[in-house]
Each structure stands twice: as C-alpha cells, then as structure tokens.
Amino acid sequence: MLILTCPCCGVTAEETEFHAGGEAHLKRFGPGSADAEYEAYMFNRKNPRGVHFERWRHVYGCGKWFLAARCTMALEVFGTYPAQTHEPPAEIVAKIKSKRPEWEGFA
Amino acid sequence: MSDLAISALPGAEFEGFATVAEAGLQGMITLRGDLGAVAKALSDVTGCNVPATRKITQSGANAVAWMSPDEVLILCPHDAAPAMETRLREALAGAFATVATVSDARAVFTVTGPAWRDALAKLCPVDFSTLGAGDIRRTRAAQVAAAILVTGPDEVRLICFRSVAQYMFDILSSAASTGSEPALYP
Amino acid sequence: MSHRLPNGGRLIQRGTPRKFTFNGKPMSGFAGDTLAAALLANDQMLLGRSFKYHRPRGVVASGAEEPNALVELGTGDRFEPNQRATTTELFDGLTAASQNHWPSLNFDLLSLNSLVPQFLTAGFYYKTFIQPRAFWKHVYEPIIRRSAGLGKAPSDKARDPDRYEQIYAFCDVLVIGGGIAGLQAALSAAQSGVKVVLWEQTAHWGGRAPVDGVEIDGNPAEDWIKTTLQTLDSMPNVQIRTRCMGAGVYDHGYVLGYERITDHAPQLDAPRHRLWRMRAGKIITATGAIERPLSFAGNDVPGVMLASAMRDYLVNYAIAPGAQIVVVTNNDDAYRTAIAARKAGIGVAAVVDARAEANGALPAQARELGIRVLTGKGVRKVKGGKRVTGVELCRIESKGNAHSEVLDCDAIAMSGGWSPVVHLWSHCGGKLIWDESGHFFRPDPARAPLGADGAGFVLTCGAAHGDLVAVLAGAHAAGQSAGNATATPAPATDSLPEEAALEPVWIMPRAADYDLRMKMWLDFQNDVKVSDVQLAAREGYHSVEHTKRYTTLGMATDQGKLSNINGLAVLSDALGQPIPATGTTTFRPPYTPISLGAIAGEARGAAFQPLRKSPIHDWHDANGADWEPVGQWRRPYTYLRAGEKRDDAVNREVKNARENVALLDASTLGKILVSGPDAGRFLDMLYTNMMSSLKPGKCRYGLMCNENGFLMDDGVVARIDEQSFLVHTTSGGADRIHAWMEDWLQCEWWDWKVHTVNLTEQFAQVAVVGPKARQLLERLGGMGLSRETLPFMEWAEGKLGEFDARVFRISFSGELSFEIAVPASQGRAFWDKLMTEGADMGIMPYGTEALHILRAEKGFIMIGDETDGTVIPQDLGLNWAISKKKDDFLGKRGMEREAIVNPARWKLVGLETLDGSVLPHGALAVVPGLNANKQARTEGRVTSTYYSATLGRGIAMGLVERGPERMGEEITFAGKGDKRIKARIVDPVFYDKEGAKQNV
C-alpha cells in the first residue's frame, strides 16, 4: 500500500486516505472535436511500465486533487504536485531523468 | 430555537481507558476563499487569526481550524452561528468567498484521557505522535471521514458527519474499551 | 513411548499444571507447554490424518512451520479448525480434537486410499474425473468433497463471540524476530536514536540460541538475552512485543503484524487478536531458518521429527520422544540432537550420516559419548504405521533394494540442513540467490524490495540472512544501517563449535527405486511425494509455478515451509538442471494463516459498515419503519401498522398522499451549495439545460450527464442569489456529484471563481404532500405559502412557527407539495410538530415505495431505474432539458456520436398490461426469432413497474425500440418460463396529465 504526500496540505498518508483518479494531464476534447480526438480523450490511456503521471485526490483529508509522478514497476514516487498545471514541473522531470535515464520524457 | 434543536446523540458517553462523549451542539461555519484575503474579515468577526496549515487558532468561545488551502472551519457557540454567518457575509461583501453554516451537518465527540492516541490509533491511519495541542488532522476513522482537533494535552475533539454519529460513537467506544489498551503511545 | 523427563525443560513451570482434553480424553501438562509438547508428554504421538491418503501423522516440527499437527480447537462458537498444536500455548480447559479421519483417529476407512498406489497421484483429479461429464456433479464431486479438506468448517450457526481489532503504528525501524540476531539488530538500531519496534511471534525471546548452546562472550546465550532485553525495555524509543508475528511485508514499508493477545489466556477481557498495520522506514527481518526434512521412505510416520524440533522438545519442554532414537542427517548440526538426547538419558541407536565422513567437533563429541556414528548410510525405509518401530538402513549411494541393517527405535530425528526464512524479504519483491555452500536460497541484498524513495527498505540478519553461526556482527551492521548509521557500541561475540560442510541429499538413498520414492513425502500436509514431482516433470511441467499447481506442492496452509526447497531440488534433478535455474515459487503473505476476525477488525456486527441515519431516523424506527438500504442510508420503505402487509401499507400511503396530507423524510437528498461569480457558468457546463438564466427565488429541474452523454443524476436547482445556487442531487448521488464538481473545478477550470459546499446533512428535509398540505403548514403560522406568495417552482426562506425553514414548491408526486428544509438539529422537532398538527387531518408518513409509485404515476423518471449508465436524456423524452443554445456542456460531445443519435434506440414509454396485472421487474419485450447469440430477440424492457392504488391497476414504464412512435401498439413481455404478457404502449404520464394538482 502506497504512501503519498499531498502537496496541498503537506500530509504524508497511506493510500486509504486517497482516491486514485487515473492518468494525469489529459486534454479535454468537447463539442466540435474530431472523433479521433474525442476517442483519445475518453478512452485511450497510457499503461506504461515505468514512469507514469497520475491523478489522486486527498479524499479523506483536505479534499484536493493533486498529481503524482510514479514508477509503476518499482512503485517509486518521484514527486507530487498541485493539479493546476498542464505538464509536470521541471524539477520533477529532472529528478525522473536522473533516476531513470532511459525515460523518454513527458509527452 | 435552541429548545427545538438537538445534537446527533445527546448525552452519549462511554468510559473506557479513554472517555468518549458526544459534545452536544456546536456552532460551525465553513469559510472558503483566499485565506489571505479573508483574514481581516475573519479576525474582525471571530477574533481569531487565520490558522497556519493544519493548525487551530482560538479566541474566547471561537476557534478557527485549517481545513484546506482555501477553507477554514469556524467553531462558535451553536446559537451564535447564524448571526456570525451574516456578519461574515457582510464583512466579505464583494470578495470571492463563500460562507455557510454547517453546525448541524456534523457531530462532535470528545475523546479525553492521556491515552486518547491509543484509542484513535485503532481507527485512523495517522501517526499521532506528530500531533499536539492546536493541531488539526483530517483523516478517516475506520470507514468514515473525520477531523481530529487536538484541543489539549489530554483531549481531542473529533468531528464527523451527523448521519454517522452512531457508527462513530460505536467504533470509538470499542477502540477505547477497557482491556484493549495497546500501550502504543507513551 | 514419548514422555516427560523428570528434570529440565527451560520453558515449563512444573509447579503450574494445566488440564486439557484431546479427543475428549483428559490430559495434563504444564504452564509454558505448547499443545504439541503437552500431547507428546502424554504419549499422544498420533495427532491426525493426512489430506489425501489419510495416513497417520504426528508432530514433525516445533514451531510455525508445522505441517501435520493441525487440530480443532474449542467448541461451539469458539470452534476453530486447522490450528497448529506447535504454536498453541496450553491453558487450563483447552479442548483439542484431531481432524480429517472417519470414523476415528485410530481407524480411518479413507486410509485405504494409500493402498492403491496410483490413486491420487499428481494431476489425478484433472486426469480422472473428466468423463463422463454427468458424473461430475453427482458422483465425483461428492466423493472429493468428502475426502478433501482437513478440519471441518464451524457451524453456520456459530457466531464468534470474541473481539478483534486493528491498530495503525509507525516506526523508523521494525525488527521482526526476537532471536539473538533480532535482539542485536534492534539494540544497534535503537542505540542510534531512532524509533524501533521489535516483534517476536512466540512467547519467548532468544530463538534457538539457548537450545543450541550458543555462547555469547563465553557465557550461555540466555545471560546475554536477559541483559539485552532489559536494555531494550529501558529505552524510551523501543517497543518490544511477543506473540506478534510479522505476517506480511507490503509496498512502501507497510507491514501487517498479527498479535495473539488472549489465545493463551482466554479468561482475559481483551481483544483476542490485534492486527498491527505498521508503517516502517526500514524493516529488518531476523526470522531465522527452518530445518529441512530428508526425503526417505516413510518419513511421514509419527515419530519422525525434525532434529531441531526433537531438540526443542527435549530442552524446552523436557520431552523424550521415545526410549530409543535414531538421528538421520547430512550435516553436523543434527549431532546436537543426538548429544542432547544421550545426555538426557535417552537411548541413541545411531547417527546415520549420509556423508562419507563426519569428523567435525560435534561428531567427535558424539563419539566420545559412545554414540554410534554410521557414515555413507541412509534410511531405506521407516518401519511402523501409526508410530515408528524401527528403521532399515542402506548405502546412501544405492537404489535401496536391500537393507544393510535394521535398527530398533521409536523416534527418528532427521535433518537435511537449513533454509533461511526468506518469506518476509520476498513478499514485496526482494530477490534471492542460491548459496552454494549452505545449499539454500538467501536474500540478495543487491535486489531488495524498493520503497517510495526508490531505496531498499528491507534488510535481513541472522539465519534469515544465511548466517547460521556468528550472527551478532551481521545483526549489528543491519541495525546500524537501518538506524541513522551513527556508530553504536560494538556487539558481543556469539560462538558455536565449528561445523563441517553439509552435503545435500535430496533423495535417500540417492538412486531410490519407485516403490521407495512413492513413499517419500515432500509436502506432508498436501500429501505430495517425490514420485509426484518427478511425474509432473516427466509430463512437461518444467516451470516451478506450474509444478506447484499441478502437484499442489506447497499449496497447503503451511505454504510449503518444509517442502519448498526439497521439492525444487527434486524437480531440478528431474529436469537435469541446477536448483537456481529452477527458481522458487512466489512467497505470499501471510507468513502463517491469520484469523478472519483480525482481518475484519472493528468491521463486524453493527459496525460492519457505516449506517447513515437521517435526523428523523429514530421516529421512523419507533413507528413501524420497514427499512430499505439506499446507499449507506436506511430509509423507510413503508410504515407497517400492526398486522398490516407491506403492499397494503404502501397502497394506504399512496392513497393518503393523493387524498389527504402525507410526509416524506427527504433528508437524504443531496444539497450542494455552488457559489461564486462563475457559479452560473459552471452549472451551465454541469447541466444539459441552462441554469445561469434561473432567477433568484426560482427552482428548475435539471439533468447531469457524464462526458459520454449518459445521464448520471438529476434534481432541482434553486437559485439563492446572484452568485449562489443550491443544487439538489439524488440521495445516492450527493457525495459523487460533489466530488464530480470539485474534480472539474480543481483540475480543469481552476481559474473559474466557484466554491462548492456539501450541505446535504446540514438540513433535515421533509416533503409535505397532498391536497391538504398548505392547510397543514398554515396551522404552524409564519411565512406566506399561498399560491400567489409562493408559486409552483419557487422557494422562500422564513419562519414556519418556531422553525427556520426554506420552503421549496417542488413536487415529485404530482400533488400540492412543499419540500421544507430546516436545520438538522430541528428536524425531529419539526417532524413531530407536523404529525401533531396534522393528526386530525389524517396525516401519515410515507416511505420510499409510495414515493416511487407516486412518481411513476406521474411519469417522472428515477435515476437508477430508468437509467443504467447507458441511457441518454433523449431516450427518456427529456429533449426539452437539453439546451441548444449552449456551445458546450459535459456530455454534449458524447451525444453527437452515431450510436447515440440512432433513431432506433430504445425510448421511454408507459406500459399498461391488457389484463391490468403488474409487469414483472426488468421484464424484456420479446419478438419472434433469435438473435446472433441464439437468444430470443428483444425490443425493450421494463424499467419501473408498480401496482397503482390510485388507478387500481398495474402501471409500468419501459424503454422500447422507437417506443414513442408506436403509441397504442401491443407488445409482448416475457414472464417466468414460457409465460408471455401483453401490454400496450401508452403515454408514461398516467395521472393528472395537465399537472393541475401540483400547481394549486
């Protein structure tokens, strides 16, 4: 069972205080978007063996959503950061690159 | 009004290695907004400063607990809450802030005695050695949400939703029952 | 015969006898005994029957690894099967019984299984019970069920009266295992200043060291253990706990600990078990090692024990397993058993050593004591059935066709070397390496389980690390490394006599014939033999995981603690490859079985799950409420009067609401405040219809869809003021919709100025319904409620009598209706007041079933009945509630898809049976012919169906292909079996189509 640090209230807590929300940094495609864009937004998800960005909500704590950069294999947590961003912060990207040189980067 | 109003489990009390008691009616107001921007209004109306992250501030019968980066919970006497809500609304007119009385949405329990940590450790995934007087920790107690306000060295107040008051009382009582002392916290 | 020696026994208190029964027979032991020790003291060698062959079985081990000595403990509500006698501490009044035999322990008919050699070999079930198919249910399965399984399940009437609990704890270093290695590791970590917790699964500290004669700094280990414990006890940063087993290691330093608090003392008023949910920075496993059996024919006969176990019984409990023993070994360690036995005055017929020579210090000591040592020899087979009577020997390098010698004995100690307990290391991904000198798998420190920071979080020390002697130095290093790495005092020196190398012997004799191999047990509990694993290998099971499942090797409750390595070795040999190439099976938690009570913790009985109660719950309970679960809420389905049937009560409530005045507790309805300058814009995105145009003081019904366009919730929105709306959701939807709102506000539109506050429980909400509703409320006095002052679909705030009220003129019943919210603390008083004031008007409460009927008569949809997660608003004829003016709302893009705009979709209609009967729930409308799956073709289904007391007939709603275009058409619904029911498609509004009654 994971432990995560909520960047919004600073609490480090076990997974049962959180609610997992799937892949982070999705771009919404609404009315007027092409079928392929809408399909990708709704249904296509990454399932990487390794570095992954996820949405989590501190549901039993401060109630805030945040994002986590995590290794799906080793379960290492590279960092957590507030949800109000379209891409991971530079320092987290740098940390991942130093720990996983083979990682292809955020795309 | 107050003679019509009853708390969730009036008079419920359990004595074990810690004492669990329903705390009766408690005024509570949710204030959401930029905590810096609402600070003046908050202190004008309640006398309390904006608490730091996961802290509680107090002034007389009022206290303010940090709930999230854009939310505090004001605690005050139950019958004072509606008027306080109105005064806060007036003081915050024009600001992007939301004020709502939530006194009756919750139940409040006190857990008292030096071993309160040992009782709560059975329900909450929290390292209680990190909590002292003036701290608030939102977490879960078994299967429901709870906010734990450390109000003194040997007393905490636990706030949960009103509908689960009986569940909360039952699990707290069982956790504090004599003979089940875990001797976890010094 | 096995018996208690007159002297000795380091763990027993001879002055404190303990009475117990086994199979009803009174016996006695001493405080400090395990049940196994006490049974052996009473010469009870035969303890049960094996799983498949029902062979007689006795104690083989002395601890958690025991595969055979499983017994039933307790009776009635406290009955528990499959408990290990070796880890059960004796107490006064304990009742134990043997299991898996019929009709009795001594005479078991199913032991005939073992007389037919090819019966029940590996894969037997798979191969045998395939044909004929029909035999499976009536012949094979009953036979298998009768013969399989060990203990019987407790009675279905039994209710465990004990308490169980869980507890969350945190530490920097958790040390698991209280032998000398664990004690030293805990001490070294603690001396560096960090917070340390030390668990020991038994009631005693020190592990094997005192039994094996370890000396520490030249003194008996026991002295050091005592001092070290005192030191640990005095340190404020250390907590030590016995009877607490490290059950499993999980991600990020999470460990489950299983503390048995009252198992040894049931008179204590305390929880029986406590499950520790520990989060540790670093974990040191000092879990020791387990001795391996040797595979020789008849190694399962009662009286054959692990050499270390026999030594434990002797030293710890003063038990002589017999008058004359034989020790069979491939290593020096087992000589300790021979030496200890001889010193205790027990006859030692010989030490049979498979090695060509035995010249170490321990064999020398044995010879000095006059013990006969036979080298290059092995056991050909054990003599005896229910108990060892002797042993035939042969050359180890032989087929074992003939015996070289027969020795009389009544107990045999066997030792095939040791295997480190690597379970906890492995649970969370720690990898193993094969130790070429010790011939065992041990943890590979370079491949430790990784924590949240990417660093290894489990260390090992002592025998668990592969250090079978001189463990303190390594334990000290582990303790320091897991602590904060500051230098702490150097450890003492532990020493044992030098030992010569072990020589692996996986089958004894090495070239044993089939008839010997089929009597060599690998897995005692699951009855898996050397011949079974060899058969599996021949049949192509080359993967160890496949062989495990095919033969069931290691799949019993002991998870193969004794059999694992021997089984791997036999498989590797059969495959002609080295053991590390075969690898091990996966170690999974828990280390030994833990009670279901501990897993449930507080979640049982009334606290099984939270039960949510409205502020008026107790009134309902006292007034006949027939409860219905709605999510975690309980709501009255109906209120039963004395002698009244459910249907009659529901019909009475429906009629009363239509004709009189009735109350519904609607407190569970979701109420979410949405406030801020962008609140209108936000609700326009959330709802399919326009909400920003709603005027303060007005109410509007709205629909929420997910991004697929599927309907997910509905309810009435009331505009409070320019910036605030009160959103009503369904009872089950309040938390979900609130989370949905916060998700969009925090993660997508974070620059929008909107706050939400979930006010669901702040208010008690009462629907006052019926033609006399206004008349009743006007009796309370206060705010104006006339049609002109408060028209339909408006709301107002004010006083009703003494109550602070928000009154919403909305109706889910089609009647004149006021939904009144008062603060939850006033809810009960408000309800009481209404019931009193309305008494002379015939006021009655109504429950959820009447609510459903009232809304169905009006054709109002219900989320979860008319919707199922694949229904769009257009399917329900709710096109009017889908804004065409808005560029965007959640679900709009989804509704543009081809399948969604298909005109042949099933759409909402009313349904009336031709005979007036009530259509069955969920009934399908069938048309002639079969579909591609050869099922009946369908063209619709029933979504809601009720008896309408108002109309005196059955009414229903359903989704029917192109339904609204087919008004008046008759279609056919499938009932039970071949029954077909004709129904006519009608308008879904059955009652008061113009809406005259609600708008008065």
Query: Residues 541-560, chain C: which have Cβ within 8 Å of B?
Result: none
Q: Is residue B50 part of a domain?
A: yes
Q: Are residues B114 and B130 in the same domain?
A: yes
Domain containing B163 — which CATH number? 3.30.1360.120
Average of per-residue pLDDT across C300-305:
97
Please say whether the beta carbons of B146 and B171 come within 8 A. no
Model confidence pLDDT, tens digit, residues C604-638: 999 999 999 999 999 999 999 999 999 999 999 99
Query: Residues 606-645, chain C: which have Cβ within 8 Å of B?
Result: 606-607, 609-615, 633
At residue B1, the pLDDT reads 44
Please say whether the beta carbons of B154 and B114 come within 8 A. yes
Q: Decide if A2 touches C, using CB distance below 8 A.
A: yes
- Beta pairing, strands B56-59 & B62-68: antiparallel
The residue among C839, C842, C846 whose CA lies nearest residue C649 is C846
Model confidence pLDDT, tens digit, residues C855-876: 999 999 999 999 999 999 999 9
Q: Is residue A30 part of a domain?
A: no
Q: Decide if B117 touches A, using CB distance below 8 A.
A: no
Chain B / chain C CB contacts < 8 angstroms: 135
At residue C148, the pLDDT reads 59
- The pair of structure tokens assigned to C912 is 């009336």
Q: Decide if A40 touches C, using CB distance below 8 A.
A: no
At residue C120, the pLDDT reads 64
At residue C241, the pLDDT reads 98
Point out the residue among B71, B138, B140 whose CB comes nearest to the CB of A16: B140
Q: Are residues C404 and C468 in the same domain?
A: no
Q: Are residues C122 and C5 in the same domain?
A: yes
Point out the residue among B96, B125, B167 whose CB comes nearest to the CB of C607: B167
CA angle C460, C463, C464 (to 5 degrees): 40
Q: Decide if A106 touches B, using CB distance below 8 A.
A: no
At residue C761, the pLDDT reads 98
Q: How far is C769 from chain A (nearest CA, A)?
A: 37
Domain membership of residue C976 as a residue range: 901-1000
Q: Which residues of B touch A16 (CB under 8 A)?
A: 125, 140
Model confidence pLDDT, tens digit, residues C436-447: 999 999 999 999
Looking at the predicted structure, is the pLDDT value of residue C147 above 90?
no
Looking at the predicted structure, is the pLDDT value of residue C102 above 90?
no
Q: Does the beta-carbon distance from B7 to C277 stay under 8 Å?
A: no
Point out the residue among A10, A61, A64 whose CB comes nearest to the CB of B139: A61
Q: Which long-range CB contacts under 8 A does C871-874 form with residues at least 24 apart?
A: C871/C710, C871/C711, C871/C959, C872/C705, C872/C709, C872/C710, C872/C711, C872/C900, C872/C905, C873/C688, C873/C703, C873/C705, C873/C711, C874/C900, C874/C905, C874/C907
For chain B, the residue count is: 186
Kindly identify which residue of chain C lies nearest to residue A65, measuring between CA atoms: C746
In this prediction, residue C149 has a pLDDT band, given cuts at 50, 70 and 90, of: low
Domain containing C150 — which CATH number? 3.10.20.440
Q: Does the beta-carbon distance from A28 to C748 stay under 8 Å?
A: yes
Q: Is residue C529 part of a domain?
A: yes
Mean pLDDT (chain B, rounded): 97
Q: Which of residues B63, B84, B104 is at a domain's end?
A: B104
Residue C362's identity, in one-letter code, is L
Domain containing C378 — which CATH number? 3.50.50.60
Model confidence pLDDT, tens digit, residues C504-516: 999 999 999 999 9
Q: Is residue A77 part of a domain?
A: yes
Point out the residue among A21, A57, A74 whose CB comes nearest to the CB of C450: A74
Kindly identify which residue of chain B lies nearest to residue A7, measuring between CA atoms: B69
Domain containing B41 — which CATH number? 3.30.70.1520
Q: Which residues of A touch C450 (CB under 8 A)?
A: 74-76
Q: Are residues B98 and B111 in the same domain?
A: no
Q: Decide if A2 touches B, using CB distance below 8 A.
A: no
Q: How far is C64 from chain B (nearest CA, A)?
A: 24
Number of domains chain C contains: 7
Q: Which residues of B touch C826 (CB under 8 A)?
A: 1, 4-5, 104
Model confidence pLDDT, tens digit, residues C901-926: 899 999 999 999 999 999 999 999 99
The residue among C571, C893, C653 whose CA lies nearest residue A31 is C893
Q: Which of B53, B54, B68, B131 to mutate to test the interface with A (most CBs of A within 10 A)?
A: B68
Number of domains chain B contains: 2
At residue C48, the pLDDT reads 87
Q: Is residue B185 part of a domain?
A: no
Model confidence pLDDT, tens digit, residues C821-848: 999 999 999 999 999 999 999 999 999 9
In this prediction, residue C143 has a pLDDT band, given cuts at 50, 70 and 90, of: low
At residue C52, the pLDDT reads 80
Domain membership of residue B92 as a residue range: 27-104
Model confidence pLDDT, tens digit, residues C728-767: 999 999 999 999 999 999 999 999 999 999 999 999 999 9
Kindly identify which residue of chain A lies nearest to residue B67, measuring between CA atoms: A62
Query: Which element (helix H / strand E) includes C786?
Result: none
Q: Decide if A37 touches C, using CB distance below 8 A.
A: no
Q: Does the beta-carbon distance from C739 to A59 stay under 8 Å?
A: yes
Q: Does the beta-carbon distance from B54 to A61 stay under 8 Å?
A: no
Domain containing C960 — which CATH number? 2.40.30.110
Domain membership of residue A54 as a residue range: 3-25+35-99
Q: Does the beta-carbon distance from A57 to C750 stay under 8 Å?
A: no
Residues C321-360 as b or e (16 or more Cβ within 10 Å = b): bbebbbbbbbbbbbbbbbbbbbeeebbbbbbbbbbeebeb
Model confidence pLDDT, tens digit, residues C691-734: 999 999 999 999 999 999 999 999 999 999 999 999 999 999 99
Q: Are residues C425 and C568 in the same domain?
A: no
Looking at the predicted structure, is the pLDDT value of residue C114 above 70?
no
Q: Which of B98, B130, B161 to mutate to test the interface with C (most CBs of C within 10 A)?
A: B98
Looking at the predicted structure, is the pLDDT value of residue C984 above 50?
yes
DSSP letters spanning C709-755: S-EEEEEEEEEEETTEEEEEE-TTTHHHHHHHHHHHHHHT-TTS--E
Q: Decide if B129 touches A, using CB distance below 8 A.
A: no
At residue C894, the pLDDT reads 96
Q: Is residue A18 part of a domain?
A: yes
Mean pLDDT (chain C, rounded): 94
Point out the residue among C251, C750, C893 whose CB comes nearest to the CB of A2: C251
Alpha-carbon span C881 to C991, nearest angstrom: 22
- Beta pairing, strands B155-161 & B144-152: antiparallel
Q: Are residues C636 and C779 in the same domain?
A: yes
Beta-bridged to residue C757, according to DSSP, are: C673
Domain containing A72 — which CATH number? 3.30.2270.10
Average of per-residue pLDDT across C983-991:
97
Query: Residues 74-113, chain B: which have Cβ within 8 Å of A?
Result: none
At residue C153, the pLDDT reads 86
Q: Which of residues B55, B81, B104 is at a domain's end?
A: B104
In this prediction, residue C128 has a pLDDT band, given cuts at 50, 70 and 90, of: low
Q: Is residue A106 part of a domain?
A: no
Q: Does the beta-carbon distance from C170 to B142 stay under 8 Å?
A: no
Kindly identify which residue of chain C lies nearest to residue A28, measuring between CA atoms: C748
Q: Is residue B166 part of a domain?
A: yes
Q: Which residues of B touch A17 (CB under 8 A)?
A: 125, 139-140
Please say whether the beta carbons of C491 and C198 come within 8 A. no
In this prediction, residue C130 has a pLDDT band, given cuts at 50, 70 and 90, of: low
Number of domains chain A contains: 1
Q: How far is B96 from chain A (nearest CA, A)?
A: 19
Q: Are residues B81 and B44 in the same domain?
A: yes
Q: Is residue B48 part of a domain?
A: yes
Chains touching C (3+ CB pairs < 8 Å): A, B
Q: Are residues B37 and B19 in the same domain?
A: no
Alpha-carbon span C975 to C520, nearest angstrom: 61
Q: Is residue C913 part of a domain?
A: yes
Q: Are residues C661 and C806 in the same domain?
A: yes
Q: How far is C746 from chain A (nearest CA, A)?
A: 7
Query: Residues 7-36, chain A: which have Cβ within 8 Å of B?
Result: 8-11, 13-14, 16-17
Looking at the predicted structure, is the pLDDT value of residue C116 above 60?
no
Average of per-residue pLDDT across A46-52:
95
At residue C109, the pLDDT reads 65
Q: Which residues of B touch C677 (CB under 8 A)?
A: 96
Q: Are residues B59 and B121 in the same domain?
A: no
Please give the DSSP secondary-structure letter assigned to residue C587: P
Q: How far is A31 from chain B (nearest CA, A)?
A: 30
Q: Which of residues C124, C159, C194 is at a domain's end?
A: C159
CA atoms within 13 A on the CB side of C358: 28
At residue C106, the pLDDT reads 75
Looking at the predicted structure, is the pLDDT value of residue C459 above 80?
yes
Kindly identify which residue of chain B lies nearest to residue C668, measuring between CA atoms: B163
Q: Decide if C265 touches B, using CB distance below 8 A.
A: no
Q: Does the beta-carbon distance from C165 to B174 stay under 8 Å?
A: yes
- Strand, coil or helix: A24: coil
At residue C774, the pLDDT reads 97
Average of per-residue pLDDT across C785-808:
97
Strand order in the sheet with B144-152: B13-15, B19-22, B106-112, B155-161, B144-152, B136-141
pLDDT < 70: residue spans in chain B: 1-2
Q: Is residue B146 part of a domain?
A: yes
Alpha-carbon span A82 to A6, nearest angstrom: 8
